[in-house]
Chain A
Amino acid sequence: MQRIIYSLIAAGSLAAMPVMAQDLDITITNLTHGTYFTPLLISAHPGGNHLFQPGVAATTSLQAMAEGGDISGLVADTTVLGADNAENPATGLLAPGASTSFTMMTSSGNDHLSITAMLLPTNDGFVGLDEMKIPVVAGTYRYTLNGYDAGTEANNEIVNGGGTPGVAGVPGDPGGAAGTGGTSVTTTEANTVVHIHRGVLGDTDPTGGASDLDSRVHRWLNPVAELVITVN
């Protein structure tokens, strides 16, 4: 019995052996109605590592990305792992309905993919993919990504430029549809770990109401992005 267990372990570690370097074509599309993606980070890294994990508290690097769109902390964290990163492939914001396409060469062992970008305008919403095994067989693979809430900031929906971690507020609305004078949707966050974003509330009052966001423009339903990977 012992021998069987050992050989199972050996088989397991063989299965976990790094795959060969890969040449990937990747396209990411923003499927939302009126929500922008801040600079995307696409990271190919060894399995067992994460940019975020549902049900787990956000790292300070994730918080900086989710509240203000700053990916430098996540880039530094993944560089330590020897990850292959595509940073900001859309060179700025990815507008609703827009796509960005790019090529990634991954080194041996970087066989899992993670993705993040802030959803703007939100307080701490982001589009994410957590540690997905990259397919090894040549072909084209299609996935959809969901909107998450970092759990680090109350979703007050007040557009005030607040993008620094710990500063309440939405940094801005690139589409220019947001209003002013909102009284705040909430001051608390019930779930303080990473979870599925409940969506924004918004309202239809451009100079008042609870929210500065427009419920006709800024709402979304999951999935918020499409990911297409072609393994060459």
Chain B
Amino acid sequence: MKRNHFYLATVPLLAMTLLAGCYHRDDDRVSYEVRVTNLTEAQPLSPLAVILHRDGYAIWQVGSAASDGLERLAEGGNPDALLLEASANPAVITTVADSTAILPGTSSSVTLMSHAKGNLALSLATMLVNTNDGFTGIKAEILDGLARQQSRSITVRAYDAGTEANSESVATVPGPAAGGEGYNTVRDDRDSVGGHPGVISSDDGLSGSALNASHRFDSPVALVTITRLE
């Protein structure tokens, strides 16, 4: 009897909770689809690291040393450490790692959701895997101007993490062109983030380069399309 009462009392409560949930979703939630298209000839992009945040988070700073997480992404294509660092920052609302690499000419997307509205920005990073420590991404793109179902497309250039010399050697480039080592702790380049100078390749006379002319690239290297879903 008691048990039955409890059950009956629970049903409307559950229903109310569900309704409240619906109401909450419609009015207080924003979500964004972030799609990245690889515009290079032969530079697969590593799984995306995407961060939704407010003022106070900098995924990188040109002229300053890369964080350990960015170094791990830019040298080895692993987004996890960068996203862990981000999650520890109070300005960060949510993070997501994509599950797949993005081959040249293809695209992949992730979705981020937030109950916090206003002053939202998006940052993103992904490695050009046939490089030593090249990456691309966006830094703190302001999202507040986007209405529901509206999209914004941004083309992005390549950056150099500055954490590994650009030898292009078979031992140090982790992508399919070489199959070399990804991340290591040594920082044997200028140790600050900057624009990527591009790759040279063996076809252009860099002895010891595992790359050929197909791995060369010019800006932009990717198209990022942000769509506000709700």
Q: A residues touching B (Cβ–Cβ < 8 Å)?
A: 1, 8, 12, 54-55, 146-147, 149, 151, 155, 185-186, 188-193, 195-199, 201, 210, 215, 220-222
Contact = CB atoms under 8 A, between A and B. Distances in A.
B144 interface: no
Given A191-B41, A222-B220, A185 B148 contact: no
Contact of B39 (A186, A195, A215): A195
Contact of B218 (A147, A186, A188): A147
Given A8-B148, A198-B213, A190 B42 contact: yes
Interface of B: 26, 37-42, 104-107, 148-149, 155, 201, 203-204, 212-214, 216-221, 223
A198 B200 CA distance: 12
Contacts of B213: 155, 185-186, 198, 201, 210
A194 to B, nearest CB: 8
B41 A190 contact: yes
Contacts of A55: 37-39, 105-107, 223
B223 A197 contact: no
What 5 A-B pairs have minimum CB-CB distances, sorted nearest first? A191-B104, A193-B105, A55-B37, A191-B105, A190-B42
Contacts of B38: 55, 191, 195
Contact of A222 (B40, B106, B201, B219): B219
Nearest to B223: A54
Given A185-B203, A199-B218, 15 more contacts: A1-B26, A8-B148, A12-B149, A54-B37, A55-B105, A149-B41, A190-B41, A190-B214, A191-B42, A191-B105, A192-B105, A195-B39, A195-B41, A196-B40, A198-B40
